[in-house]
Structure 1
């Protein structure tokens, strides 16, 4: 199941314990996701799928590095969203943080995410 409304570029706002964190996410027609937020050093890559007539989910991984560029782990992000219009959606998201060997270090769920479509496709 796919939803053409999601395809394109979106500005996002993540509620991080009361602090708004802006970001950008791009959904491709073949199910790919590219995401970035101002609180991360690297982009996230992943995939998305429709889960109902107005709902979808997506996930991506962000590789984490320290100040010297050494790999220190990754964030595994997942979001469930629902359209509120053809150019806006809202949902909840969470992330698990893993060390370089893949062991989960910590995680969180339930952060509010809102998004608006922009660009020539929005």
Structure 2
């Protein structure tokens, strides 16, 4: 297991700077490269993958399906985050999202939002 994997695998609370408003969330990284994420400002979970990009750096990407109040599919968000491990219990990074309609047409996007994460769970 590489250093990034040893430190990153597990469950984390996240705080994304959403244009000056904190968006709190949870993200879990698995040893086989899977990632699951959710934020309070979304209705659904995101699923995707992660990989190490250096000795202390990593990136992950996931998709979140979007629906209206009746459950009709209205599009999706594709999120990409680049992070760096600060210590055994903290990582920081930047993230962005592109939003798509149900037909796959890009509607809008943003990047460079700051993310700070703290590890939690057994032993933390």
TM-score, normalising length from structure 1?
Answer: 0.97
Deviation track 1:33-92 (CA, whole Å, cap 9, x = no partner) reads 000000000000000000000000000000000111100000000000001111100000
Per the alignment, residue 107 of structure 2 pairs with: 105
Q: State the Cα distance separating 1:110 from its structure 2 match.
A: 0.3
Per the alignment, residue 43 of structure 1 pairs with: 45
Per the alignment, residue 73 of structure 1 pairs with: 75
Q: Distance in 2 between matches of 1:99 and 1:4?
A: 37
Q: State the Cα distance separating 1:121 from its structure 2 match.
A: 5.1
- What is the SS of the residue equivalent to 2:102? coil
Any runs of at least 4 consecutive aligned residues in structure 1 with deviations exceeding 3 A, and if so which? none
Q: Distance in 2 between matches of 1:65 and 1:4?
A: 36
Per the alignment, residue 85 of structure 2 pairs with: 83
Q: Does 1:7 align with 2:22?
A: no
Q: Distance in 2 between matches of 1:32 and 1:111?
A: 22
Deviation track 1:13-47 (CA, whole Å, cap 9, x = no partner) reads 00001001110000000000000000000000000
Gaps of 5+ in 1: none
Q: State the Cα distance separating 1:3 from its structure 2 match.
A: 1.8
